[in-house]
Structures are given as C-alpha cells and as structure tokens.
C-alpha cells in the first residue's frame, strides 16, 4: 500500500473543519444474546484465552483509535457487560431491543454520525488483529469507498454470509447474501463476509434508513448496506484477508473451544520465540497477558493465568496452577503447586503441592514445601517451611526454620491476628502459635508447643504437658485384656 496516496487522500480533509486526518470511530457490535451458546452469560462475556471475547476486540480497537472513540453497542444483559468492560474506558451505546446488526448501527447513529469513517467490528470475533484492521481501514480510504468489508476464503463457509462480487477480479461488491437466503449455487461461494467493515459515516447514515426487515429473521441486516449503497451508486469493495482464521466467530461452545485453542497455541509459540521452553504446548493453558523471561521451562499440564509474571531460568513443573503471581529468577516450582496473588523471590523452591494464597511473599532462596498453605505472609530470605503447615497473617524474618506441622492460629472466630517471627527463630515441629504473638530474634520453640505469649529474643518457649512414664503399664494392660 502506497503511503503517498493515503496522505494525499486524507489531505482533502473530509468533514471536520478542514482537519487533515479523518475522524475515525470504532463500533463494536456486542448486543446479541448468543442463543447458540445456551448460556445465562451473555455471549461476548464468554472467555477465550483467559479474557472475555469482547475484551479482546476492545483491546484491538483501542490500538486503532483512542478508547474515547470506541463504542461498544450492548443490549442483552447490558449492565453486566458494561460492568465487566468498564475498566477499558470505551463508550457504551444501548441497543435495548436487538433487531439485527443493521439496527445496532441505526441505534448508534447519534454517537457515530459525527465521524468521517466508522470501523465496525464484531464483539464475538476476538482473533482479529490490529494489523488487519489497519489494512482494512487503509484500503477503504485508498479506494474512497462508501463501504469496505473484510472477506475471507473459508474451507467450509457454511453459516456465513457470502460475498457476491461484480466479477471475480474486481474489488467491487454487489451484495452479501446470508446463508439462509442463499441459493444452492451461492452456497458454493467460499468467500465469506467476516462481519468487519469500514463505512464512510456520511454514506452509512445517509442510506441506513433504506434497510428493511424483509428476511428470514425479520431483522435489519447490516450486510444489506452493500446492496443499498450499490443501488445508490456508492462504491462498495471487499478486501480479502490471507489469514482466514482471524475472522472466526464464537457462536457455539465448539467454536469457542477452537478459538481458545488457537489463542493459547499462538501464545505458546510467541513465548517459545522469546526463548521460553514449553513442553507439550497443547497441554498448557497460558493466558494472553502472562510474561515469562528466557530460559524458563514450562512442563506439561501447567496453567499460567491472569497477570502472572515469571523470571528467567525458572522451572514450573507439571500440574501447577498459577494466577496473578510474580515469580523471580531461578525459582523451582515443583509439581502440583497452586498459587494466587503470590510473590516469589529469586531462587526460591516451592512444592511439591504448596498452596500459596493471596498476599504470600516468599523471600529470596526461601523454601516452601509439601502441603504448606500460606496466606498474607512474608517469609524472609532463606527461611524454610518444608512440610505440612498453615502460615497465615504472619511476618516471618530471615533464616527462620518452621518445623513440620506448624500452625499459626490467626483467627479467633471473629478477627484475624498477626504472628511475628523474627530472624533466626527455630520453630519445632507440631507447634501452634496463637496470634497475636511475637517470637523474638533467635528464639527457640520446643516441638509440639502451644505458644500463647510473646517470647523474648534468644529464649526457649516450651508449651506442652510434662511427659509421664509408667513403667510396665502396657504389659499389665495386655495381660488384663487377655483374661477377659
């Protein structure tokens, strides 16, 4: 595409006060119910790649124009969709009654007719790339078209609208025929309408009143704008993408699974290209925003979710589920760990089967072992809690040894209280620490102690019943039982 042609085109300054660049809005159609999903959840909130369908599309749109020029057209469960997408900063237009894709644009007319061009995206087609939307926009501007549609050649075009070109070599389109209205010869056409368009706002809104509901669904079809504009002697063109999988829509659960798989594989490929080893990528579930530094190894059957960040030279072994956590360099995560909202220091060793709940901060080189649950704790540098413990609401210093079976009793039935364990403390196995409590630096807690009051530094805390020994007791007992 020649840049010069584009800039000379935009220099003509359509509409707005002689501005040199056209004013472009993006409209995202997201009001439909998604009947084919058989779900209480609105279609566009169904997730692929760890995010709602609509959020993927909004993200792409917001890279084309500022969020203030993006309009999500919502209708079915509108409040729920609005709440879920509020953080994106885009505008919402309410299509209270969903009377078709054409009707969606009619309803948005007030918001959109002040722009020069409107890019229309489908809220249920999240694989669309920013590059393709840019190409489509630029092609539209270059062709000086009233309507430009993105088409794709599909192996199996069933269910999609088909593109009827004036002649096979021309970019010009005569009309789009929906599957239900297509004749058997039209059904053989493999070039489909992707549901992505660019319109000149003046042509769209000057002619949208001509749409009718004379079709199988008794709806206003946006696709009919092709024929309407052709009849008005306006230019309608199609630009065919070379990557047809970009236009796939998630109309059914099976299609959602297909899109999800494509996204996750693409994510794994990107990570591998960036120097991360991913074994059996088809078994790993890695969300779009996850970041991993080079030379880290992800073993089979690992889930890395949300905003998880992993440093370099780590190893995440099989069956870990890690969400919204930050892992430093050189960390070993052994099999079966579950982590959420945790922060792990360089060189730490976790698992197998550790459960790190929100607010767990594990220090450099620290160890958290099997069947240890942590919540809202700081575990200092080089400290170890290797077996069978619950550590909650605790500040634990450096070089501390937490013996097997240690429990911080943080909850009194009403409130949560903090346990402070200073540097170098040794907590013997099977100890319970009843919070609020402070164990001073270098103190020593005897195994099986129940500690209920603070321990000064370097002291011994011993809180268990005195041992009693009764010589010969067991032998006498056995004899007595056998006589009965």
Q: Which residues are catalytic?
A: 387
Candidate ranges 132-140, 215-223, 369-377, 439-447; the one touching ligand UD1 (CB under 6 A): 215-223
Query: Residue 161 CB, nearest distance to ligand UD1 (Å)?
Result: 2
Helix 78-85 with 53-61: angle, nearest 10 deg: 60
Q: Any bridge partners for residue 150, and if so which?
A: 239
Task: Tell whether residue 322 is a contact of ligand UD1 (CB under 6 A).
Answer: no
Inter-residue contact 239 to 135 (CB < 8 Å): yes
Residue nearest to ligand UD1 (CB): 161
Interface with Ca ion in residues 221-250 (CB under 5 A): 249
The residue within the footprint of ligand UD1, chosen from 249, 380, 382, 403 (CB under 6 A), is 249
Query: Residue 287 CB, nearest distance to Ca ion (Å)?
Result: 24
**Phi, psi dihedrals of residue 387, rounded to the nearest 5°:** -145, 130
The residue within the footprint of ligand UD1, chosen from 132, 207, 223, 389 (CB under 6 A), is 223
Task: Tell whether residue 406 is a contact of ligand UD1 (CB under 6 A).
Answer: no
Query: Residue 32 CB, nearest distance to Ca ion (Å)?
Result: 8
Q: Which listed option, ligand UD1, Ca ion, none, makes contact with residue 444 (CB within 5 to 8 Å by class)?
A: none
Helix 130-143 with 3-11: angle, nearest 10 deg: 60
Query: Residue 435 CB, nearest distance to ligand UD1 (Å)?
Result: 52
Q: Is the dihedral of CA 214, 215, 220, 221 positive or negative?
A: negative
Q: 254 burial class (0-12, 13-18, 19+ CB within 10 angstroms)? A: exposed
Closer CB to ligand UD1, 195 or 382, in the complex? 195
Q: Which listed option, Ca ion, ligand UD1, none, makes contact with residue 283 (CB within 5 to 8 Å by class)?
A: none
Candidate ranges 118-126, 306-314, 438-446, 458-466; the one touching ligand UD1 (CB under 6 A): 118-126
Query: Residue 75 CB, nearest distance to ligand UD1 (Å)?
Result: 6
Site string for ligand UD1, 60-79 (x = CB under 6 A): -------------x-x----
Write the DSSP assignment of 236-294 as a string of letters. EEEEE-S-GGGG----SHHHHHHHHHHHHHHHHHHHHHTT-EESSGGG-EE-TT-EE-T
Inter-residue contact 59 to 52 (CB < 8 Å): no
**DSSP tag of 205:** H
Query: Residue 137 CB, nearest distance to ligand UD1 (Å)?
Result: 18
Task: Tell whether residue 32 is a contact of Ca ion (CB under 5 A).
Answer: no
Q: How far apart are CA 106 and CA 204, in angstroms?
A: 9
Q: Tokens at residue 375, please? A: 């919540």
Inter-residue contact 439 to 463 (CB < 8 Å): no
Task: Tell whether residue 52 is a contact of ligand UD1 (CB under 6 A).
Answer: no
Site string for ligand UD1, 189-208 (x = CB under 6 A): ---xxxx-------------
Count of other CB atoms within 10 angstroms of residue 52: 23
- Name the 3-class secondary structure at 110: helix
My answer on whether omega of the bond before 436 falls inside 30° of 0, hence cis, is yes
- Number of residues counted as binding ligand UD1 (CB under 6 A): 31
Q: 148 burial class (0-12, 13-18, 19+ CB within 10 angstroms)? A: buried
The closest of 379, 388, 466, 461 to 426, measured between CA atoms, is: 461
Closer CB to ligand UD1, 197 or 390, in the complex? 197
Residue nearest to Ca ion (CB): 249
The residue within the footprint of ligand UD1, chosen from 52, 123, 244, 428 (CB under 6 A), is 123
Task: Tell whether residue 123 is a contact of Ca ion (CB under 5 A).
Answer: no
The residue within the footprint of ligand UD1, chosen from 88, 113, 142, 251 (CB under 6 A), is 251
Candidate ranges 96-104, 391-399, 405-413, 429-437; the one touching ligand UD1 (CB under 6 A): 96-104
Closer CB to ligand UD1, 259 or 337, in the complex? 259
Q: Which listed option, Ca ion, ligand UD1, none, makes contact with residue 194 (CB within 5 to 8 Å by class)?
A: ligand UD1
Query: Residue 390 CB, nearest distance to ligand UD1 (Å)?
Result: 47
Q: How far apart are CA 363 and CA 387, in angstroms?
A: 17
The closest of 423, 411, 408 to 372, measured between CA atoms, is: 408
Inter-residue contact 197 to 108 (CB < 8 Å): no
Give all strands (DSSP E) within 348-482, no chain letters.
349-350, 355-356, 360-362, 367-370, 373-379, 384-387, 390-396, 401-402, 407-409, 419-421, 426-427, 432-434, 437-439, 444-445, 450-451, 460-461
Interface with ligand UD1 in residues 7-36 (CB under 6 A): 29-32
Q: Which listed option, ligand UD1, Ca ion, none, makes contact with residue 419 (CB within 5 to 8 Å by class)?
A: none
Q: How far apart are CA 145 and CA 139, in angstroms?
A: 9
Query: Residue 54 CB, nearest distance to Ca ion (Å)?
Result: 13
Q: Any bridge partners for residue 455, and if so which?
A: 439
Site string for ligand UD1, 155-194 (x = CB under 6 A): -----xx--------------x-x-------------xxx
Residues that bind Ca ion (CB under 5 A): 124, 249, 251
Per CB under 6 A, residues contacting ligand UD1 are 29-32, 43, 73, 75, 95, 98-101, 103-104, 122-125, 160-161, 176, 178, 192-195, 221-223, 249, 251
């Amino acid at each position: 595409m020649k840049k010069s042609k584009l800039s000379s085109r935009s220099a003509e300054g359509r509409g707005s006060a002689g501005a040199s660049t056209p004013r472009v809005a993006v409209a995202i159609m997201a009001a439909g119910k998604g009947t084919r999903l058989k779900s209480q959840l609105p279609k566009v909130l169904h997730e692929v790649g760890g995010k709602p369908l609509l959020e993927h599309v909004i993200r792409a749109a917001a890279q084309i124009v500022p969020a203030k020029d993006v309009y999500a057209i919502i209708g079915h469960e509108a409040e729920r969709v609005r709440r879920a997408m509020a953080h994106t900063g885009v505008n919402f237009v309410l299509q209270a009654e969903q009377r078709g894709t054409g009707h969606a644009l009619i309803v948005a007319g007030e918001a959109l007719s002040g722009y020069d061009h409107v890019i229309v995206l489908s809220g249920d087609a999240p694989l669309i790339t920013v590059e393709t939307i840019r190409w489509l926009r630029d092609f539209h501007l270059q062709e000086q078209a009233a309507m430009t549609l993105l088409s794709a050649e599909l192996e199996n075009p069933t269910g999609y609208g088909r593109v009827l070109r004036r002649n096979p070599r021309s970019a010009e389109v005569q009309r789009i025929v929906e599957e239900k209205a297509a004749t058997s010869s039209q059904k053989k056409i493999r070039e489909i309408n992707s549901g992505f368009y660019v319109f000149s706002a003046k042509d769209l809104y000057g002619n949208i009143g001509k749409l009718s509901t004379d079709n199988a669904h008794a709806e206003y079809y946006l696709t009919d704008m092709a024929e309407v504009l052709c009849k008005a002697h306006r230019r309608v063109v199609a630009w065919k993408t070379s990557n047809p999988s970009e236009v796939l829509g998630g109309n059914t659960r099976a299609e959602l699974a297909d899109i999800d798989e494509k996204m996750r594989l693409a994510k794994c490929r990107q990570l591998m290209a960036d120097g991360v080893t991913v074994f059996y990528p088809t078994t790993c579930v890695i969300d779009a925003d996850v970041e991993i530094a080079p030379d880290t190894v992800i073993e089979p059957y690992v889930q890395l979710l949300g905003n998880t960040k992993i440093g370099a030279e780590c190893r995440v072994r099989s069956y870990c589920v890690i969400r919204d956590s930050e892992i430093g360099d050189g960390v070993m995560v052994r099999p079966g760990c579950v982590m959420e909202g945790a922060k792990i220091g360089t060189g730490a060793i976790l698992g197998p089967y550790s459960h790190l709940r929100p607010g767990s901060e594990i220090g450099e080189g620290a160890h958290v072992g099997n069947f240890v649950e942590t919540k809202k704790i700081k575990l200092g540098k080089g400290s170890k809690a290797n077996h069978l413990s619950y550590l909650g609401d605790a500040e634990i210093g450096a070089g501390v040894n937490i013996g097997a079976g240690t429990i911080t009793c943080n909850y009194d039935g009403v409130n949560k209280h903090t346990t402070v364990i200073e540097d170098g403390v040794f907590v013997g196995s099977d100890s319970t620490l009843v919070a609020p409590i402070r164990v001073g630096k270098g103190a020593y807690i005897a195994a099986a102690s129940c500690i209920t009051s603070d321990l000064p530094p370097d002291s011994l805390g011993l809180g268990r019943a005195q041992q009693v020994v009764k010589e010969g007791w067991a032998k006498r007992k056995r004899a007595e039982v056998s006589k009965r």
